[in-house]
Every structure is written in structure tokens, then in C-alpha cells.
Structure 1
């Protein structure tokens, strides 16, 4: 649920404004009613704006209610400088909403006010038409969902566990820019905290977790790279991360992992997968976005997708392109939440399709890889990257695919079989993708979220690049 602030604009001539009150009140009641029916809270400014003083005072009244989105409603012609004054007193995302009525030119007022805002560089979105029309309501709700995601970022904290992994520049971002543009703080935490705190995990809880995974998943011990002791060490690392999240009030996080932990302690595959899952062995929980290789822009992309969709978010390398099928293998050690195996609310159904294989030679410390194949379905793919310091978001539509068992295995074995795989058909040519995509990591959630992501980019001053 979002909180929406509603401010009504009117004509600045007193003798005109008096005659428009009833019309504006009716339009306001209908707009507020439709937004409330959609499940949102609506706060309406007590007075209609028809003077300079009211433009500022009513906008400040709305701002004091801390709305996720502020809507300036134009049911009639409104003096444009009221929009300018109200926008100056408005914090956060702004939507201009107009009727389409030949008798009362609210559209004219919206265009005049919006044009004035453009001249001073004040970002805003616009909607118009009858709010009872599902298409019009849908456009407004797109802005509402985007605004809620944007406001959900502001004041949040990212936990960066470790530094830059293996010289990966695209995994590191400017903390000043994050605070200025997104309102996100970064807490730097050493990886030693995972090692140190893992010893504090309760042995009974750790054993019960291992046994639960053995019952519901498919654990393939080999006595060397994967033993019960190493599996429990990975579970202890998960509890260490949960402790850090609670202690430092982390809203989302990333773990460097390579090469220190993966060479000398264990991989973070189990911890990362179940942090991103909506459950663990102790029951249902909120997903916590955790990016491998402490990928900051990757984690930020994932957090936006989580705030928009409410679903676990996939993280993967763009590992391989099967040119004969026009299908990508999105694959990265341990990072896919097990939820993607079946996209089921029942953990047992997802884990029945999940295998815990011994880690491969890249990671001599050992532990379990969390292997499964992403269940088929439409998805939205996205990634924040930077060009000369300016943020852009690459966005594409596509779908996860599965084939017969023999084909699935043959395709997975062409890269690293033990890792999770998402066989993906993107709705963009491979040449376009490889020429323009600005990172090695990509992220996804089920469904179509292109419109919401475009709205998010507008509100955050990020360039939107549809692939």
C-alpha cells in the first residue's frame, strides 16, 4: 500500500474559483475513491489551491504527511504559477493529473503547469482522462508503484561485506552519489565478521537446518568438497549474515566472497540463496536482497525490482549464449533463490527440484553449490549501469524456458552444471544486447514491469534504456 497526497489546483480569480468548488470536489472524490479501491491510502489537502499562499501552505500540509506520491489534480483551468509554488514545497515524486472535458479545461492547466516545471527541470509524470477508465487508472497506478519503490529506497542502508571482487569495477559504486541520487547509505563491513560470527551460531539450530535441507533437497556429499561439516559451515555463515543484518539494520546487502572466503572458508552460495528466498528452514520470512561479489549496482537493481514486485529477485552472470536456440544461459554460483526452481509458495516443492552439489575447482574452500533450473515463465530483466558517471538502466522483456531432461542437462553442462541456470529467451537480438549491455551481471523478476521501471527511472533521474 502506498500513501498518496492529493492537491487540487484551481483558477486564481476569486469570482471564478468560487463557482468551481463543487466541480472540483466531485472530481476529487472520484479520484480518491478509485485510488482507495486499489488499496492505497489517500490524504487530501483541506483546501483547494486558488492563491499563492494556498499553493505553498497546502503543499506543505501534504508534504508533512510524507506521501510516496503527490498528485496535483487539474479538474479545471489553474494558474500555472500555483503549480510552481506547490512543487517547490513538495518533496518526492510528483504526478500531474488532468481531466479531459471541453467545458472545464483541466488539461490546459496541466500542460501549462507541466511546461513550467519542465523549464526549471522539475521531474514529474502526467496522466489524463477519466479515472474510472481502467486504462487511465492503470497509468496512474504505474506511477504509484514506482513512487513507492523510489521512496522505499530513501533512508535505506546497504551492507557491503568486503570490497571490490577480482578487480570488478562494475561491482563498485560511489557512496556519495548513492546518497545524493537514491537516498541510500552504505555500511562497510569486513568479511571477517562472517567468519568470526559463524562460530556463534547455535549448534542445535545449525544441525536442524542441515537435516531439513537433507530431507527436502537433494544433497550430494562427496567427502571432500562437500561434507556435513562444510554444509553446516555454510549454514553458520547464513546465521552470521542474519545477525549482521539485524545488528546494522541492513535493508539489502552484498557479499564479496571471492577470493578470500571461497578459497579459505567456504562459499556463500547457501547464505545468498536463502537470504533472497521468502523462507528458510525455520519458516516464512521476508526476502533480503543479497548480491554476490558485493555488486553494489546489482544489489540496487535487485532492491528496486523487489520493491516493485514483492518477489524474490534473480541475480546471474550472462554466462553463455546458445546461438542455435537464441537462448541465454544466465548462471552464477549459488545466487538464484531456490524459489525460482518452481516459483511455489511451498518450499518443499522448490527444494525437490534443487540439488546441493560439491563446489567446483574455482572454490577450493568447498561447500555446496545450489543447483536448479529456473521454472518457465515471462520475466522482466534489468540492470543499473553507469556511463561516464551517469546512471542508466538497461531493461528487457523475455522468458525463462525449460526443455526435456536430456536437453536441459546437455545445455547446463556446457557451462558449470553445478550452478543454478536460467535458460532465457530475451526479446532483443543478441548483437544488440552484447553491444549495449554494461555489466556482466543481470537481474530479473517474473511478470511485466517495464512501465514501472520507466517511471522509476524518471523519478530517480536515471536514463531508461529499453533493449
Structure 2
């Protein structure tokens, strides 16, 4: 392999996050540069950050040397993918391991996006201050420098798993329902934030029993104006009576007021009307970027949709995937139906795989997303919104004030899942068992404040090692449900046409 190695910085489309992350990039770049030079390589920088697909094409497309994309914050996948797709020079995705600066989140999204377009990339990460002193990191980097790839241990990936007859029967009941009436997903736009791996399209969805109907989310700019104040008043009274705590006017959130929440509820009602108009079963909501300066954040509405207790609701969650991510929307809808088929509450949480650390001898992931978590996670009561806290979305990302749908997830056994496309276009369903863990308050607050304190929090053991998630998981998003629907989800996934992959420390049973 060539001694020269190009290092590039995949960035955000928005200028502010790139400005904030520059010190972290310069620090990580120096660490990576030193590690490569210690191995006798000659690294050189590519001008960055890469903030648009055309920049990736122009700056990466002509490079024949091995390349390393260095992720130190959230980055859009096209800012890597569009510059390297169709090429064969060795590609390595490297990241910090930080909750405050979630390079690992961007690495997972970009790796999955590359897989979906058939471009191989290896993965590497470190949380050390001196990467040359991180022996596993250096061993892996040396292997990549010598061979052009890193093959991680895959002993926790399982294609075979037996399923009980009872689980098969529950899956069959759900399958029969889907065959009677296929699932209709209303898509308010396509995936946002560069999530190539989150869009499947009709050719993939149709054989799986799903259809999509796209509605330009620009409709909402007009539609919210058609919602009468009376409905907003009723919705506001509902969420207050059911227990939501609103953190209006607090420090760094002076512009977050009751009126901002009312406008978020107006958006919720406008989308609810669209769902009713098209008789849709579930929702993918792009929101980001296009409406940022026009409407308040959608997160509070998304949390309500995913909750049993919601204004003008029917007592059941209306599954909603933030960022219009179909890779989470499909398993969330399937999990909801399986839970209800077993007589369990059909709440499914949408989360980012954000960061993690060891606590009392085991590794726990911090799962949190900007607001698509069901209230059920915070109270285990289908009639209540108690435990929900609404904080202002950070102003640096969300100029129009609006609140999140946050809280502390209760402990309990969980089933988790994710759908993704392999390089052959085959849909794959990842399935795992785990546990939501209650942390001591001081530990929880330390971890939470080290990520994004305004967002819903879950500390989770995903039932496999951190290494397996970092090396093999095909998304930055995960769908989580309380209760054991592990066997049922495997059976249903297989029956629908997914290749099912189980992530588990031991042989799954």
C-alpha cells in the first residue's frame, strides 16, 4: 500500500457546527498524524471541512492514495460517500469516542451509507489522549496500513436463531394483518442530515409489505395556519393535565415560552390531519434544515406521536421516525404491532447510539435523540405523560424556539432493532436483546451533560460488546422497546423477506 495517506474532514452542512468542532478536528488530526508517522507513513491533509457533496467529489474523487476520513462531530454521509463511491483505494473511517463531540455517531451513519452503495470502508476509533499509546488502535491502524482493511471480530453476529412456536404464532398474526392491508408510511420529505442509509424507496419497501406516500413538508407552512386556536388550546390543556413539565424561560432559553409550545402543538395537529387524510399507519418526518427558520422544532410533536397519551389520539402510539429514517421506521412499526399482538403496550423508542462507558463492570450505551422517544419510557403508564420534560432545543442548531420531549428512561428488559440495506440491496434486520439500566444520579447526570442534556436519556446494555456495535452496526439510530419480542421479531422479519442478523454475546436463544 502507498506510504502516502490522505486525511480528510467530513463536515456538517451548517457552518456553526464546523466552527465549533475545528479545535477537536485539529487535535484529532495531530493525534492521527503522529500515529501514522510512527508507522512510517506520510500523511497529508485534504482541504476541509467537506460541507457539500460537490466538495467531496472535487476534493476526494481524484485521490488514488489510501484515505482516512476523520470524524470529530456530526457529518453528513454524502460529504464522504459522493467523493469515494465507485473507487477502490483503501478507505478508513476514524473517529473520536466522545459524547460531546459525536464523531462515532457520524462514523456509524457514514459506514452504513457506504455499505448501501457497495463501497468498502474499514473502521477505527480511540478515546485516548495519545493515539500512539493506544495499543489496540495502533495494531488496527498498522493492519490497515499494511493490507488496506481491518477485519474485526464477528463472533457476536449470528445468522441462525431458533424461534419458539408461540413466537411464530404471534408473528403470523401480525403478518396476516399486513397481508390484509399493507402498511402505509406517510413520508414528510426524504431522509435529512445526509442519511443515505435511511432511505429504502418503493422497490425495497413493497416486497416487505410497506408502501410510502411522500408529501412535501413545505405543505406544513400553510397547514399549520389552518389549525384553529381552539384545537391548540385543547391540545395544550391535554399535555399539561397529563403531566408534561415545561422549562420555559430558563437560562439560555429565554425565548422558549408557552407560545412556542403552542406552535409546536399546532404543527402536531397539522401532521395528524395529514395522517388522517391519507389513512397512513406510520410517519417519517424529515423536518431538519428546510424548515429550521420557518417553524419550531418537530421533536415535541414526534414524542407525542410515539406516545399512547396524545391529543386527539386513539390510545395507541402513531409510530414516527425522526429525520424520515425508514431504517428505523420499519422495525418500529413491526415492533409496535408485535407488542400489541402480545397484549403489551405498543411503545417503541427512537434513539441515537450516542456514546458509552463502563459502569459496574459492563459497558453501557447512552441512547438519546432529540425527541422521538415515547413517554412510556419515562413512566410505563399508557395514560400519562408524567416524566416528560420539554427543554428548548439548543439555539445554535434551532433558531426558532421550541421544546424537546425528554426524560429518564426506566430500567427494564428491552428488545432493539434496526433495518438496513447491504451492498447487494438486500434488506437486513438487526435484532438484539438488552436492558435499560438505572444509573446513580451523579453518574447519569455526568453522562447526560456530557452529551445533550435537553434530549431523552437511556443507559442501555445492548447485549453485545461495544466493539461489535462500533465495528459492525449499520446505523447511528436504533429502535428500542420494553418487553421481550425477540423471537417474534426474528420470525416476522424472516417471513417478510429480511435477512435477519442477531447481535448477541452468546448463541441467541
Asked if 1:147 is matched to 2:172, the reply is yes
Contact kept? 2:308, 2:383, Cα under 8 Å: no
Q: Which residue of structure 2 lines up, in the alignment, with residue 333 of structure 1?
A: 370
Q: Which residue of structure 1 lines up, in the alignment, with residue 472 of structure 2?
A: 436
Asked if 1:404 is matched to 2:440, the reply is yes
Equivalent residues in 2 for 1:94-243, closer than 5 Å? 139-154=164-179, 155-179=182-206, 181-215=207-241, 216-222=243-249, 224-243=254-273
Matches of 2:455 and 2:347, distance apart in 1? 18
Contact kept? 1:170, 1:385, Cα under 8 Å: yes
* Normalised TM-score (structure 2): 0.62
Asked if 1:448 is matched to 2:484, the reply is yes
Residue 226 of structure 2 aligns to a residue whose secondary structure is coil
Structure 1 residues 279 and 209 mapped into 2: Cα distance closer, same or farther (>3 Å)? same
**CA distances 1:362-398 after superposition (whole Å, capped 9, x unpaired):** 2112200111011110000111111121111111111
What is the RMSD of the two structures over their aligned residues, measured on CA atoms? 2.1
Structure 1 residues 460 and 214 mapped into 2: Cα distance closer, same or farther (>3 Å)? closer
Matches of 1:283 and 1:152, distance apart in 2? 22
Which segment drifts farther, 264-273 or 207-216?
Answer: 207-216
* Normalised TM-score (structure 1): 0.67
Equivalent residues in 2 for 1:271-420, closer than 5 Å? 271-282=301-312, 285-310=315-340, 311-324=346-359, 326-347=363-384, 350-351=385-386, 353-360=387-394, 361-388=396-423, 389-420=425-456
Asked if 1:457 is matched to 2:493, the reply is yes
Q: What's the CA shift for 1:346?
A: 3.5
Q: What's the CA shift for 1:191?
A: 0.7
Larger RCO (CA within 8 A; separation ≥ 6): 2
Matches of 1:289 and 1:193, distance apart in 2? 21
Residue 380 of structure 1 aligns to a residue whose secondary structure is strand
**CA distances 1:407-447 after superposition (whole Å, capped 9, x unpaired):** 22222111000000111012111101221111111001112
Equivalent residues in 2 for 1:39-50, closer than 5 Å? none
Contact kept? 2:209, 2:496, Cα under 8 Å: no
**CA distances 1:186-225 after superposition (whole Å, capped 9, x unpaired):** 1010112222211122212212322443452211112644
Higher helix share: 1
**CA distances 1:330-375 after superposition (whole Å, capped 9, x unpaired):** 110011011210111330xx42x22111111221122001110111
**CA distances 1:213-253 after superposition (whole Å, capped 9, x unpaired):** 34522111126441122111100111011100110110111
Contact kept? 1:153, 1:304, Cα under 8 Å: no
Gaps of 5+ in 2: 1-161, 341-345, 504-509
Contact kept? 2:235, 2:311, Cα under 8 Å: yes
Q: What's the CA shift for 1:405?
A: 2.5
Matches of 1:378 and 1:225, distance apart in 2? 39
Structure 1 residues 442 and 206 mapped into 2: Cα distance closer, same or farther (>3 Å)? same
Residue 455 of structure 2 aligns to a residue whose secondary structure is coil
Contact kept? 1:150, 1:304, Cα under 8 Å: no
Residue 262 of structure 1 aligns to a residue whose secondary structure is coil
Structure 1 residues 386 and 369 mapped into 2: Cα distance closer, same or farther (>3 Å)? same
Matches of 1:287 and 1:270, distance apart in 2? 14
Residue 418 of structure 1 aligns to a residue whose secondary structure is coil
Matches of 1:225 and 1:299, distance apart in 2? 32
Structure 1 residues 346 and 185 mapped into 2: Cα distance closer, same or farther (>3 Å)? closer
Matches of 1:282 and 1:160, distance apart in 2? 21
Contact kept? 1:158, 1:253, Cα under 8 Å: yes
Residue 253 of structure 1 aligns to a residue whose secondary structure is strand
Contact kept? 1:152, 1:307, Cα under 8 Å: no
